[in-house]
Amino acid sequence: MKKMMFIGEALVGKSSLIRELSGKEYTSRRAMAVEYFGQYINTPGEFIENRRFYHALITSSADCDIIAFVQDASRKSSLLPPLFASMFNRKVIGIVSKIDHPEANIERAQLFLQNAGVKEFYLTSSILGEGLVNLRQMLQ
């Protein structure tokens, strides 16, 4: 089983993805700390929202096989810097979350992830369970 680290702004759905992928009860404590839950690593949203925490993301990525940038499809902006994926020496994927949201704009979310240097995308909905099978297969 591969380890995956989730990076994204606060409330983009990182914890929901971990809960659905693991099939276990998981709740984030939102304590400005990296949380380890089985094969998943959840990073605080503040780490991407504030440049002075980028080093913490880079250091934490040493413990994983895959890095997932999570972008909420209903957001009109993204704090992921251009070519941010190039900072990591791991496989980086993009997860577009909340594709079931009434205000979801999947193309815009994919563009944000593309600008961050992502080339591989997964469209997901934790509520409907969409896209989770593909993520599970990749982690095998």
What CATH number is associated with residue 42?
3.40.50.300
Number of domains in the chain: 1
Whether the model pTM is above 0.85? yes
Which residues span the domain enclosing 43? 4-139
pLDDT in tens, 27-52: 887 678 999 999 999 999 999 999 99
pLDDT in tens, 104-136: 999 999 999 999 999 999 999 999 999 999 999
Tell me the DSSP string of 41-97.
EE--THHHHSGGGHHHHHHHGGG-SEEEEEEETT-S---PPTTGGGG-SSEEEEEEE
pLDDT surpasses 80 at 102 = yes
